[in-house]
Amino acid sequence: MSLTDFLKAFFTHPTVLAYWLMAAISGGLGIHWAEAVWPPVVATTLIGLFYPLAEYGLHRYVLHGRFLYKVPLTASLWKRIHFDHHRDPHDLRVLFGALYTTVPTIALVALPIGWTVGGRAGAAAAFAAGSLIICFYEFCHCVQHLHYMPKSPFLQRIKRLHLAHHFHNETGNYGITSFIWDRVFRTLYEEAKDIPRSSTVFNLGYTRAEAERYPWVTELSKSPRGDGD
């Protein structure tokens, strides 16, 4: 895949277009409501600083947590947003996040911070920043999974680390856009030889034994994978 093909595929994807539209609308509202420059600026800056930590925490403790598949109401959600992606990292149908999960997450992270800093103008600006940041997240995630080799050393590194997360050991390298918090919390591994290969790298701990106790993900899967015991 050439750079032109990659950029065309990414920027014309409906999910990305939705994020751009959200950013334009909320950013416009932030400008319209702002009575001073500094609250929206501070709000967007804080979102930019806080997002890598939120990204890390959600990925490690929610998406890789073992509680969503244990409840019928959330089993299908977990299957769609992460299990299917790990079961087959090459399945492009589940490469982009589902809007019904990402938009509430943006709101949950951005709105309280923005409102605290600058009321409705700060909240709108923070939501716009969150929408653009999630675009960058999706861009990095696409680079990491599509058949495209970037020339940027930064993109090459995050691609290598993320693919190790998918194909070697899923209990590390949780970052997508940044691995700062992996380093802080000691979950970063640069080389596969630095950490043992995981037996649950493709099923995230949803083993045969777990499937017997909590069968909802298996029932939703047309071709369930039974890696591990």
Q: What confidence score (pLDDT) does residue 225 get?
A: 45
Confidence of residue 227 (pLDDT cuts 50, 70, 90): very low
Tell whether 194 is covered by a domain. Answer: yes
Q: What confidence score (pLDDT) does residue 223 get?
A: 47
State yes or no: pLDDT of 159 exceeds 90. yes
Tell whether 228 is covered by a domain. Answer: no
Residue pair 169/178 in contact by the 8 Å Cβ criterion: no
Q: What is the pTM of this model?
A: 0.90
- Give the pair of three-digit tokens for residue 111: 């709105």
Q: What confidence score (pLDDT) does residue 92 get?
A: 85
CA angle 171, 177, 178 (to 5 degrees): 70
**Burial grade of 104 (CB within 10 A; 0-12, 13-18, 19 or more):** exposed
Query: What's the average model confidence in pLDDT over 7-22?
Result: 94
User: Looking up tokens 């709000």, which residue turns up?
Assistant: 43
What's the domain range around 53?
3-220
Tell whether 135 is covered by a domain. Answer: yes
**Based on the structure, what is the number of domains in the chain?**
1
Tell whether 229 is covered by a domain. Answer: no
Tell whether 227 is covered by a domain. Answer: no
Tell whether 115 is covered by a domain. Answer: yes
Distance between CA atoms of residues 172 and 68, nearest Å:
20
Give per-residue pLDDT as tens, 76-104: 999 999 999 999 998 888 999 889 999 99
**Burial grade of 37 (CB within 10 A; 0-12, 13-18, 19 or more):** exposed
- Cα-trace Rg, the chain: 19
State yes or no: pLDDT of 22 exceeds 50. yes
Q: In Å, what is the CA distance from 100 to each residue of 118, 132, 160? A: 26, 17, 29
Tell whether 16 is covered by a domain. Answer: yes
Distance between CA atoms of residues 55 and 53, nearest Å:
5
Give per-residue pLDDT as tens, 107-118: 999 999 999 999
Distance between CA atoms of residues 78 and 63, nearest Å:
7
Tell whether 226 is covered by a domain. Answer: no
